[in-house]
Chains A and B, each alone.
Chain A
């Protein structure tokens, strides 16, 4: 079957088996390997990408289900050489160690902050509870998201962030 998607702003297409998982389309057909696979059962969130702006576990979706839709992956966060505030936050606050869960954490957090510009610590912990990290103990991931939230709020036009 033919599938057409917009991925990080680029229009890409491929002929794929109907059963091809979205994560394999992204990683193996389009060779965007920042999106990882950790559990195959939707629990760990290493494969999280944004589909029309909403976080999805790409290991449990078929590629064809994304036909005609917009996909954002970790590779699309940096714009014109400028890191996304979340990427800066993760570096500044030591929010990553082995780096394997990081792309999924970044994408989940991006979608979350777009809807919740001033989250409490509890809000953040619930928001990332579908993304497992085995290295950091989450404390610094929470700080990284707070770091980014503050930066995004400061950059947002008056009247509230988006």
Chain B
């Protein structure tokens, strides 16, 4: 779609209408969870472990309960009375709410203090005296799998090692054969480190159990309120929390990026405390708790091999990966996919054979395996293939752009069945790369680089031509704890032609109140300004699986279009009744039905809405409402090509991103302004792990990046001025041809930056550098390869 079908006043697809969310946010009038205050509210603070692995000998709460304002200290033993000291993870492993016997990572929750004020709760937490008996910590996942390593999950009776699962996919024999027949093979070990989404708002909740109504209401920072409600009902049903007596409200969310998908112990303790006391209980974590204990992302130790013929035709990919999951597998993946969608790792290339293996390991680190603004493990996949293709190009002495173009899946091959079983919906990969090369002036940059190299200056050009896989997902394969991954939209058109629509998703900054209204405006012709969008309240919104993995537009956006079309079906019958014509004799354009051949005889959607309540045909129900629970027939495959130019200071090792051009293709575009904003933000969250962010642990399991002092988010100074553009290749199976855009840039950007750095250093003998590419790392690499001060 290149031109808008509706007028700017209607504001359907393709219009950069201003966001409906902004008027409250720019006035400081949003309602985030910490803004919720209820009468008589109590505060919860959490005591955390200083040890990565230790037995709990004794918890002395006497000093804490003596602190003025402190009402109670809750321990694992207290929760054990109700069998609430453990809870299931999304991957059907188990996670402690509060420990009874031992702690498994530094900063793990050990006890919780309930008090009348925030400060008293913190005083109480500091006064809880816990005696520990330290145990040897298992930090390195490779060592965790060695024979004789201490077995961490002693709670699992038959567990004799730290191996969680083995998962493999693809044709091993065909892949091995292709490698045996290859002219050239390259192999690299790639570590994609542990990072944290670090949304500027941390996690928290206000739990309110009303003993009279017997109803629990929880305002919480969650990206998936409906699924949370069901999980609460399943986990706490035995203590009387039935699903119709649980209301989850996800208010304004200050950034999610995957970090607000899991159920953290703090939420559960706050709920338990409110149920026990009958009072509202607020729990808000601080930044250090957020970084040290909430779900991490990535932490994949990858060994990748790529095979090719002499002419540069890529033939096969082989990957082995060790996934460090911390002490429990609490990854946020669809149930069937323990390594997420990592097997999209053949990327944008027509590879005939591939085989991928992943093993999960327990270590003494916090659990997680969430996404950091990407679909399930897709950044890991993209980073691997894009690094390997670049290494192959350099190895063969070919231009990385040309090698990519030679091996791209061609437009006429779509729908394309990948060697690892995915059916890519649509793409024009060379189109995006050509546009990026033209925009950045690729040939000129190559000349400049050659000149600079003669002078000993370090300049690199890096490409990433990624394919994403989002919009989970078709119910045949996709569920979370058994809940199928559909999503929903319910529309009510009021008598005066205005409307409200509610969704099973939850925006965390993406602008759903605006873009969903635009989809409905496009379909119904009702101005977007006349459509109220609501999400996040499980008492009012239809059931859905929530917002993550770029699934809102592909799934709930599709539900919006389908529900709108149901509205139009009924409106058509009403219009026919009003015009005294047969429904089939009417033609529709957005917002108006008219009689074929008599365009002056017409009724607007607003006329139809009014008639639906005042003058509906005999035999038809009154009202104009519809709901859709959309089960996508396939995933969507957004793609793009990014080119990055870096200059490296050989004296300090600093990598400076001089230019970065991003061409994205997310299919049909709903709001160009919002798409561009999503790409800007995604690119910055791609730059962050490429150059700055990593959560490291020392040999004892002490976290080394547990505050913003050590964990560096990009500021406006490190962030380059992104240059963005797009191509449009609609998804053939999506009702409005859209694919999703929230995460493409985070997925595609790190490889472009890493490829640029290695491109600058290849002639020195550097073949690979793991992200984050920090100045000390580069400085050391330069010295190892003969560069002198």
Contacts and interface: CB of A to CB of B under 8 A. Distances in A.
Contact of A134 (B25, B32, B673, B685): B685
B25 A102 contact: yes
Interface in B678-721: 679-685, 707-709, 713, 715-717, 719, 721
Given A19-B119, A91-B23, A92-B18, A134 B680 contact: no
A24 B199 CA distance: 21
A36 interface: yes
Contacts, number: 178
B253 A98 contact: yes
Interface in B167-225: 197-202
A96 B721 CA distance: 16
Contacts of B34: 27, 33, 36-37
B265 interface: no
B199 A134 contact: yes
Contact of A96 (B22, B118, B508): B22
A7 interface: no
Contacts of A106: 26
A20 B28 CA distance: 22
Interface in A79-99: 83, 87, 90-92, 94, 96-99
B495 interface: no
Contacts of B31: 33
B765 interface: no
A133 to B, nearest CB: 7
A36 B254 contact: yes
B27 A132 contact: no
B709 A73 contact: no
A106 B683 CA distance: 23
A75 B683 CA distance: 31
A103 B21 CA distance: 14
Interface residues of B, number: 58
Contacts of B709: 41, 43
A101 B254 CA distance: 8
B22 A91 contact: yes
Nearest to A138: B716
Interface string A64-78: 000000000111011
Contacts of A140: 677, 680
Nearest to B24: A99
A58 interface: no
Nearest to B679: A137
Contacts of B674: 94
A90 B288 contact: no
A39 interface: yes
A56 B715 CA distance: 18
B286 interface: yes
Contacts of B530: none
Contact of A99 (B30, B202, B684, B707): B30
B498 interface: no
A140 to B, nearest CB: 6
Interface in A132-162: 132-142
A6 interface: no
A107 B347 CA distance: 44
Contact of A41 (B24, B287, B679, B716): B287
Given A43-B709, A91-B19, A129-B716, A100 B680 contact: no
A40 interface: yes
Given A36-B32, A40-B288, A139 B25 contact: no
A96 to B, nearest CB: 6
Interface in A45-70: 46
A85 B24 CA distance: 16
A77 B511 CA distance: 23
Interface of A: 17, 19-20, 24, 27-28, 31-41, 43-44, 46, 73-75, 77-78, 83, 87, 90-92, 94, 96-103, 106, 121, 124-126, 128-142
Interface of B: 18-19, 21-32, 34-35, 37, 118-119, 197-202, 252-255, 257, 286-288, 508-511, 673-674, 676-677, 679-685, 707-709, 713, 715-717, 719, 721-722
Given A98-B201, A98-B252, 11 more contacts: A32-B28, A38-B201, A38-B254, A44-B287, A44-B713, A91-B26, A94-B676, A100-B255, A128-B715, A134-B200, A138-B684
